[in-house]
Structure 1
Amino acid sequence: MNTKFSKLYFTIAVSAAIIGSASVALPAVVSFSDATATSTSGSFVADNAIDKNKNTHWEAAARGASITARFGSCQRVDDLVLNWYGTNKYRYSVQLSKDNGATWTTVVSNTSGKGNKDAQNVTDQPANAIKIVGDTDSRLRIDELKVNSLRSTNGCTNSGTSNSSNGENNDTSNSSNGENNDTSNSSNGENSDTSNFSNGENNDTSNSSNGENSGNAQYPADVLDLSKWKITLPISLNSPPNSNKATEIKQPQLKTYTNSEYFRLNAAKNGVLLKAIAGGARTSTNTAYPRSELREMQGDGTESAAWSCTNTDHGMYLEQTLLHTTTNKPEATIAQIHDSKNDLMMVKYFGPDFANGSTDIGKLEARFNNDTTTKLLDNTYKIGDPMTIDIGVRSGGNVTVTYKNLRSGVTSSTGTVKMTGIIGSCYFKAGIYIQACSKTDIYGNTNIVCANKNLSANKYETDPYAYAEIEVRKITLR
């Protein structure tokens, strides 16, 4: 079972009789000219909602966001049906425009939908654009938009001020995708002459290491050397799903494995996106948090790595960008050294209170020996900043973490820190280990550890589909 993010399936059906004929024409699918959104999360752009591909979707990065789709011509809209996927409840409004978004008429006001089908009747009227507006408590996800119509009409006008009312295509926008935004610090850095962001498009100073694979890669293993890794994903492939049995993919399957939500190529095909959700499947009954995380292996990639924590020279180098966090308890672990029991070293991100999850400024810390020693790496890390992390282990169990922010230029080193209380052997981990959880997971089961430890209580009560995401462009063991 491949659990997808909570999605919104959207259908508009329009019925009319052909004038002067005794027969009724079959509805025809109306073509969209474009789609734009006031907020976009990572690679889940607005165009995904109109590409006629149910494996892609638009996702808002913030609550209260809207998406606008313009028709190829003026159509007479009569009624609409919204198909929701998953268990999340959305509150939303629907607006129509007959002047390409210069003015809007609300036809469905502040209603709600949760799963299955949600039908709405509207007054028969001409329109050449539609907008879905999420309530301030709803962060919308739309998988596909479809409009059917029996005939075109002449009741629309074309306005040169399209989309002015919703702030789309605004040069001062701080939305996470940074499209047409000269000052954006977003993760894709499109149209930004000074950006160092992860895909390096239109960016002469990009630090992306794998651009040579752009356009050719099909699987994450085509971009990253995963021959010595396995991946743990926050989904259960058991039947029925088991909340405490996260999925593991090892070699040789990992060579050609991808997952459209949790482990996939970025749009530029020069990096790999790893995503974990608060209510995802976990690795055991004793674990509160889900993960989308790489674990070091050895040999042919089927045997778990287990090197001496005190008598080895070993290292891991990462080039990556943190793209998103949860808005409540915005914390994530993005690199680790683990032994049989202990967290010997963790690089962790901590976001601010009242986080938006996509453009926050927080801090990165290296934490040693089960959080007993903390070293600050970056006190002004902004989500979307590309970084390098180099972790070196030397004889005696001495560890040094060296960090660089490729946008701001901040560099730091922890110096030498000795690992203590070691049990068994060591191994590296990389990816995204979300540090927030939901009491009820996406399978409808109670996360006992989360509930007992009160990890999501009060302001930390978390949507099971709330997520953290990282883009990894290079991972090297030495």
Structure 2
Amino acid sequence: MNTKFSKLSFTIAVSTAMIASASLASPTVVSFSDATATSTSGSFVADNAIDKNKNTHWEADTDGASITARFGSCQRVDDLVLNWYGTNKYTYSVQLSKNNGATWTTVVSKTSGKGNKNAQNVTDQAANAIKVVGDTDSRLRIDELKVNSLGSTNGCTSSGTSNTSNGENSGTSNPSTGEVSGGNAQYPADVLDLSKWKLTLPISLNSPPNSNKATEIKQPQLKTYTNSEYFRLNAAKNGVLLKAIAGGARTSTNTAYPRSELREMQGDGTESAAWSCTNTDHGMYLEQTLLHTTTKKPEATIGQIHDSKNDLVMVKYVGPSFANGSTDIGKLEARFNNDNITKLLDSTYKIGDPMTIDTAVTSGGNVTVNYKNLRSGVRSSTGTVKMTGIIGSCYFKAGMYIQACSKTDIYNNTNTVCANKNLSANKYETDPYAYAEIEVRKITLR
């Protein structure tokens, strides 16, 4: 990988038109709700560009990368100031959206823009999201993205899902971002880019059902697959619900816990992904919300790196004793190397809080997990942890891997592996339909 980069720093000034007979007020800094990018180098995620910390940055590792930031309110934009570090010439565009990224309007387009400070006038218009698309011969880097405003305005809507592709999107899959605009969605694959994933469900479609043979859905069937109970669109059609039950079908005779989970694939989506755990760079970005957990043992794994045998990385929710499963406050942890290392991500995660999780693997088997709670603003990073005891190749998993079980499953068979865990009696789910559910709004591989 090319280790050289061009340092890039944007300051975007947003102002309102002067009201007759009134003088302009001092500008105020707009608070962003979140930021996303089409390309990320290691742990240098998009949120770093909006955290008001000059010691952090977003860095891309591909040409043509873009970053999108959503405002906390509707602003009236009429000029842009881009501060580029250095004197390189850049090909870039600036796009605005007044529906949180459902559609975009290009307001600046430069095929040979100068570096350093660029001021651009645009037609006065309302917007609640901005996207900057850059193209250079080396990496792009944004230390800080700031929006100043002299006032809010009307004319924006909150509908639509964000889309950081190079142009507008009205409901078709965008492989670079892992999401689409959800307005016309019929299937989960209309909202998430599932072209490189396989789905495992907590049910058996065998006849008769086999408790140890959970159903798998691969491409091309996954393009138009939905299950009204375990894998479906949310009501807003901008996210996918994955639900697992304590007494569901498992993947093998050695597994205690059911899952409604995505497994990384490659090629046309029919071949299992198997990348080097130590010699390549890989990453997975998730935007999701934990909606419900079981109550006897309120635990759920909601993101993983797995090798041929080991749980190298698990992002896990652990709820409180006497949980209700719907409004609990628990903790989120990143666990490494079969639970030998635990890093706390959020000590007060409340079920229903939207979050982002960015997992980055770099050469040498080093991995970093970056987390942000989009409600509370809590941010954390595990720092670099070395994966050890690696067996074979690696792949990502996402969705709901419930960490609870019932001794008798929904097919009235005994879950022997579950029973042999010898948990205390109050840790076994007595209802095989006790469930955990997660809403995934974005999933991106790199």
Q: Same fold (TM over 0.5)?
A: yes
Shift of 1:86: 67
1:55-89 CA distance string (max 9 Å, x none): 99999999999999999999999999999999999
Matched-pair contact (CA < 8 Å) for 1:336–1:343: yes
Partner of 1:166: 166
Evaluate the alpha carbon distance shift between residue 280 and residue 86 of structure 1 in structure 2; reply closer, same or farther with a 3 A threshold: farther
Matched-pair contact (CA < 8 Å) for 1:8–1:82: no
Let me know the Cα RMSD of the aligned residues: 21.1
Q: Distance in 2 between matches of 1:273 and 1:124?
A: 39
Secondary structure (helix, strand or coil) at the match of 2:84 reads: strand
Q: Distance in 1 between matches of 2:209 and 2:442?
A: 32
Secondary structure (helix, strand or coil) at the match of 2:89 reads: strand
Matched-pair contact (CA < 8 Å) for 2:407–2:428: no
Of the structure 1 ranges 341-350 and 102-111, higher mean CA displacement relative to structure 2 is found in 102-111
Shift of 1:136: 63
1:189-217 CA distance string (max 9 Å, x none): xxxxxxxxxxxxxxxxxxxxxxxx33310
Q: Distance in 2 between matches of 1:394 and 1:122?
A: 41
Evaluate the alpha carbon distance shift between residue 466 and residue 36 of structure 1 in structure 2; reply closer, same or farther with a 3 A threshold: farther
Q: Distance in 1 between matches of 2:32 and 2:12?
A: 13
Evaluate the alpha carbon distance shift between residue 433 and residue 58 of structure 1 in structure 2; reply closer, same or farther with a 3 A threshold: farther
Matched-pair contact (CA < 8 Å) for 1:92–1:110: yes
Of the structure 1 ranges 32-41 and 217-226, higher mean CA displacement relative to structure 2 is found in 32-41
Matched-pair contact (CA < 8 Å) for 2:172–2:190: no
1:369-408 CA distance string (max 9 Å, x none): 0000000000000000000000000000000000000000
Evaluate the alpha carbon distance shift between residue 165 and residue 433 of structure 1 in structure 2; reply closer, same or farther with a 3 A threshold: closer
Matched-pair contact (CA < 8 Å) for 1:4–1:261: no
1:286-330 CA distance string (max 9 Å, x none): 000000000000000000000000001000000000000001100
Matched, 1:474 2:415: no
Evaluate the alpha carbon distance shift between residue 312 and residue 27 of structure 1 in structure 2; reply closer, same or farther with a 3 A threshold: closer
Shift of 1:462: 3.0
Evaluate the alpha carbon distance shift between residue 90 and residue 345 of structure 1 in structure 2; reply closer, same or farther with a 3 A threshold: same
Matched-pair contact (CA < 8 Å) for 1:40–1:175: no
Matched, 1:258 2:226: yes
Of the structure 1 ranges 159-168 and 449-458, higher mean CA displacement relative to structure 2 is found in 159-168
Evaluate the alpha carbon distance shift between residue 3 and residue 36 of structure 1 in structure 2; reply closer, same or farther with a 3 A threshold: closer
Matched-pair contact (CA < 8 Å) for 2:14–2:150: yes
Shift of 1:452: 1.3
Evaluate the alpha carbon distance shift between residue 339 and residue 143 of structure 1 in structure 2; reply closer, same or farther with a 3 A threshold: closer
Evaluate the alpha carbon distance shift between residue 389 and residue 267 of structure 1 in structure 2; reply closer, same or farther with a 3 A threshold: same
Evaluate the alpha carbon distance shift between residue 452 and residue 163 of structure 1 in structure 2; reply closer, same or farther with a 3 A threshold: same
Of the structure 1 ranges 338-347 and 120-129, higher mean CA displacement relative to structure 2 is found in 120-129
1:402-437 CA distance string (max 9 Å, x none): 000000000000000000000000000000000000
Task: With the length of structure 2 as denominator, give the TM-score of the two structures.
Answer: 0.60
Matched-pair contact (CA < 8 Å) for 1:43–1:266: no
Secondary structure (helix, strand or coil) at the match of 1:49 reads: helix
Q: Distance in 2 between matches of 1:319 and 1:159?
A: 17
Task: With the length of structure 1 as denominator, give the TM-score of the two structures.
Answer: 0.56
Of the structure 1 ranges 355-364 and 119-128, higher mean CA displacement relative to structure 2 is found in 119-128
Secondary structure (helix, strand or coil) at the match of 1:48 reads: helix
Evaluate the alpha carbon distance shift between residue 293 and residue 59 of structure 1 in structure 2; reply closer, same or farther with a 3 A threshold: farther
Shift of 1:121: 76
Partner of 2:44: 44
Evaluate the alpha carbon distance shift between residue 269 and residue 8 of structure 1 in structure 2; reply closer, same or farther with a 3 A threshold: farther
Q: Distance in 1 between matches of 2:157 and 2:361?
A: 67
1:21-47 CA distance string (max 9 Å, x none): 999999999999999999999999999
Q: Distance in 1 between matches of 2:178 and 2:190?
A: 27
Evaluate the alpha carbon distance shift between residue 317 and residue 177 of structure 1 in structure 2; reply closer, same or farther with a 3 A threshold: closer
Q: Distance in 2 between matches of 1:218 and 1:360?
A: 32
Q: Over alpha carbons, which structure has the higher Rg? A: 1
Evaluate the alpha carbon distance shift between residue 215 and residue 398 of structure 1 in structure 2; reply closer, same or farther with a 3 A threshold: same
Q: Distance in 2 between matches of 1:165 and 1:31?
A: 23
Of the structure 1 ranges 10-19 and 411-420, higher mean CA displacement relative to structure 2 is found in 10-19
Of the structure 1 ranges 156-165 and 143-152, higher mean CA displacement relative to structure 2 is found in 143-152
Matched-pair contact (CA < 8 Å) for 1:292–1:433: yes
Evaluate the alpha carbon distance shift between residue 151 and residue 137 of structure 1 in structure 2; reply closer, same or farther with a 3 A threshold: same
Q: Distance in 1 between matches of 2:163 and 2:386?
A: 57
Evaluate the alpha carbon distance shift between residue 6 and residue 463 of structure 1 in structure 2; reply closer, same or farther with a 3 A threshold: farther
Matched-pair contact (CA < 8 Å) for 2:177–2:444: no
Matched-pair contact (CA < 8 Å) for 1:42–1:324: no
Matched-pair contact (CA < 8 Å) for 2:284–2:444: yes
Q: Distance in 2 between matches of 1:221 and 1:394?
A: 29
Evaluate the alpha carbon distance shift between residue 373 and residue 299 of structure 1 in structure 2; reply closer, same or farther with a 3 A threshold: same
The runs of 4+ residues in structure 1 deviating greater than 3 Å are 1-179
Matched-pair contact (CA < 8 Å) for 2:405–2:432: yes
Shift of 1:14: 65
Shift of 1:50: 46
Aligned counterpart for 2:367 among listed residues 399, 408, 416: 399
Matched-pair contact (CA < 8 Å) for 1:61–1:176: no
1:79-104 CA distance string (max 9 Å, x none): 99999999999999999999999999
Matched-pair contact (CA < 8 Å) for 2:189–2:223: yes
Evaluate the alpha carbon distance shift between residue 42 and residue 346 of structure 1 in structure 2; reply closer, same or farther with a 3 A threshold: closer
Shift of 1:49: 46
Shift of 1:451: 0.8
Matched-pair contact (CA < 8 Å) for 1:2–1:235: no
Identity %: 91
Matched-pair contact (CA < 8 Å) for 2:36–2:47: yes
Secondary structure (helix, strand or coil) at the match of 2:427 reads: helix
Evaluate the alpha carbon distance shift between residue 360 and residue 305 of structure 1 in structure 2; reply closer, same or farther with a 3 A threshold: same
Extract unaligned runs of 5+ from structure 2: none
Evaluate the alpha carbon distance shift between residue 245 and residue 118 of structure 1 in structure 2; reply closer, same or farther with a 3 A threshold: farther
Secondary structure (helix, strand or coil) at the match of 1:88 reads: coil
Evaluate the alpha carbon distance shift between residue 304 and residue 146 of structure 1 in structure 2; reply closer, same or farther with a 3 A threshold: closer
Q: Distance in 2 between matches of 1:279 and 1:327?
A: 14
Matched-pair contact (CA < 8 Å) for 2:57–2:141: yes
Shift of 1:457: 2.7
1:113-140 CA distance string (max 9 Å, x none): 9999999999999999999999999999
Shift of 1:252: 0.3
